[in-house]
Structure 1
Amino acid sequence: MTDRLPASMAGAVDLSGLAARHARPAAAQQPAPGDGDAPQGGVGVIVDVTDADFAQIVELSRTVPVVVDIWAEWCGPCRQLTPVLERLVTGYAGRLVLAKVDADRNPQLVQAFQAQSIPTVAAVIGGRPAALFTGAIPEAQVADVLEQVLAFAAQEGVTGRLPVGEPGEQAAEPTEPPLPPLHQEAHDALDRGDLAGAIDAFERAIVANPRDGEAIAGLANVRLLDRLQGASADEIRRAAADAPSDVDAQMRVADLDVSGGHVEDAFARLLELVASTTGDERQQVRLRLLDFFEIVGADDPRVAAARRRLTTLLY
């Protein structure tokens, strides 16, 4: 997490090339908003953006500071952080915008923000980017970072507000169908930081319905979070380097790689272990790989390739 936001912004990343590639023709551009005014057109405070339309976000950042959340569906820490960002940004009633970027579908933005792992959170203020932090951090720290963003934006004269009214006055969104009871119990446990409770709820859901894909994926994600709880990335990698034949140590590095978005590295490490182990150890590695497949998603081509390799090694 950055402690001095202006310093981060001074030499961060250059979005000008990306913005120029996807900028709208001049004739189609909206007039620049006046000082303190929000652009028209119904922009919400939480938006999903892509490589193709990020130029509009860069322009919006000249009026209101934009927080960028680079995430992925399979990323466990993202599932913790994104709801926190959404809740806090919504509470600023239009003084901040949250731009959500799916890392798997927007490689140009991932590269532009130099996102080495996910979640990665950055800001764009006045068209200029700033690295903020990576990983899921406590809500109080997220709130502190957002206050720093607003303070620096004020120094830069970026003090606009989107016309969304005060908190609680926004138009009601369509109500999503309620979660199944055990899924809700698991999500409530996660909100409390009770990983053991979430694991228990998902396990009971799977016992009740062994084909409950969402519970299976949810359980795999929470187990990953639980294994990495309180772990130091440096210590995990050092232990694996010191003991290359220690299966548990190697699997912990794979956990770390998956949590950081380095899916291919995690798959390659575990597939090598499958090839070099037998018996119970091989079964342990195989089950960890299956968990990773659930986390990343069955339709991901990296999963399909790893499944084929796993089948070749086993049979």
Structure 2
Amino acid sequence: MQPRNMPMSGVVDLAAVKAAGEARQKAEETRERNAASGEQGAPAPSSLVIDVDEAGFERDVLERSAEVPVVIDFWAEWCEPCKQLGPILERLAQAYAGRFVLAKVDVDQNQALFQQFGVQGIPAVFAVIAGQALPLFQGAAPEAQIREVLDQLIQAAEERFGIVGAPVDPSAEAEVEQQEPEAPVDPVLAAAEQSLAAGDAEGAAEAYQRALDANPADAEAKLGLARAELIRRVRELDPAAVRKEAADNPGDATAQLRVADLDLSGGHVEDAFGRLVETVRRGAGDDRNAARVRLLELFEVVGPEDPRVVAARSALARVLF
């Protein structure tokens, strides 16, 4: 999937003379306070990639952005493009060694941040410099293209705001990390994850099914199988054609199921659920049952505890009974 670029012209807007001057002054004041208190502006190697939630956003992102550009990765566990992009961003955070910090935001757990930034789909990547936000790009992207965007971001942060981050040695904690005990890994699940990462949805589905055959209560295998099946269904679809077919034929349950898959894979969870609930409500016989089963499968992808799943289960119960 090619990313929908969000032009770096936004950096120029952020760097308007008055805003840039105020941001630079704020950054300098923050550095002076940190120096006076003995705090260091440079991130430690272990904090080059951080998980951020709503409660810690001001501290971990806004305040930190006065010292170093903060790149925000909006992602979700069920989002396959996120799984392609995330490791690239994390690797680059280490490679750039302190010139930016990567903040990862799980949209399922942080809906307020998701809405505040106006995210239309995931993965989505934003940046915050001196407390000011700008969009970078949306969707998975090749590493070379991401490097270009990061280089522009870092250059703009330095030239317009005087924010340069600080170099760190990513290997400084390698020795400690090697000593940390690793949790035992289920070889079947590990093989499934490797297949999924390699784009082999069929192989992943088979491996997850073997794990479920051995242990029907294995929640991780159940989630993995649902993800693999979703990938298999959407990867050959033409989104424009599928959406047109569904719009032209609202009573075609198969067309509605395809659009629901596309919606979910693109991060539009509530749209996917709402479409399927409505298809159940309007359908009969096999069509109705197919929509119900697909909805239950997508519940597995998102997770049973997610509030959107809870709400959709209630809506499904109302149309069924």
Question: 1:67 deviation in Å?
Answer: 0.8
Contact 1:9 1:131 in 2 (8 A): no
Q: 2: distance between equivalents of 1:190 and 1:105? A: 24
The C-alpha deviation readout for 1:254-281, integer Å capped at 9, x for no partner, is 1122223322221111111112223332
Q: Aligned with 2:223: secondary structure? A: helix
Contact 2:129 2:157 in 1 (8 A): yes
- 1:294 matches 2:300: yes
Q: Could you tell me which residue of structure 1 aligns to residue 24 of structure 2?
A: none
Q: Could you tell me which residue of structure 1 aligns to residue 57 of structure 2?
A: 54
Q: Could you tell me which residue of structure 1 aligns to residue 99 of structure 2?
A: 95
Q: Tell me: CA distance 1:208–1:305, structure 2 relative to 1, closer, same or farther (3 Å).
A: same
Contact 1:38 1:162 in 2 (8 A): no
Q: Could you tell me which residue of structure 1 aligns to residue 291 of structure 2?
A: 285
TM-score w.r.t. length of structure 2: 0.80
Question: 1:10 deviation in Å?
Answer: 4.2
The C-alpha deviation readout for 1:36-93, integer Å capped at 9, x for no partner, is x951685710112223332232232232221101123343433333233222212222
Which of 273, 280, 303 is the aligned partner of 2:279? 273
Ranges of 4+ aligned residues in structure 1 off by more than 4 Å: 40-43, 167-171
Q: Aligned with 1:100: secondary structure? A: strand
Q: Aligned with 2:47: secondary structure? A: coil
Which of 77, 82, 96 is the aligned partner of 2:81? 77
Q: Aligned with 2:103: secondary structure? A: strand
Q: Could you tell me which residue of structure 2 aligns to residue 187 of structure 1?
A: 193
Q: 2: distance between equivalents of 1:128 and 1:212? A: 43
- 1:159 matches 2:164: yes
Q: 1: distance between equivalents of 2:242 and 2:225? A: 22
Q: Which residue identity does 1:131 align to in structure 2?
A: P
Q: Which residue identity does 2:285 align to in structure 1?
A: G
Q: Tell me: CA distance 1:177–1:117, structure 2 relative to 1, closer, same or farther (3 Å).
A: same
Percent pairwise identity:
45
Q: Tell me: CA distance 1:296–1:3, structure 2 relative to 1, closer, same or farther (3 Å).
A: closer
Contact 1:38 1:63 in 2 (8 A): no
Which of the pair is proportionally richer in helix?
2
Question: 1:236 deviation in Å?
Answer: 2.9
Q: Tell me: CA distance 1:169–1:302, structure 2 relative to 1, closer, same or farther (3 Å).
A: closer
Q: Which residue identity does 1:293 align to in structure 2?
A: F
Q: 1: distance between equivalents of 2:96 and 2:165? A: 12
Contact 1:38 1:64 in 2 (8 A): no
TM-score w.r.t. length of structure 1: 0.81
Question: 1:192 deviation in Å?
Answer: 1.8
Which of 164, 172, 176 is the aligned partner of 2:177? 172
Structure 1 gaps of 5+ residues are 17-25
Which of 229, 235, 251 is the aligned partner of 2:241? 235
Q: Which residue identity does 2:163 align to in structure 1?
A: V
Question: 1:155 deviation in Å?
Answer: 3.2
Q: 1: distance between equivalents of 2:145 and 2:31? A: 37
Q: 2: distance between equivalents of 1:219 and 1:301? A: 21
**RMSD over aligned Cα atoms:** 3.1
Structure 2 gaps of 5+ residues are 20-28
Q: Tell me: CA distance 1:269–1:99, structure 2 relative to 1, closer, same or farther (3 Å).
A: same
Q: Could you tell me which residue of structure 2 aligns to residue 199 of structure 1?
A: 205
Contact 1:153 1:159 in 2 (8 A): yes
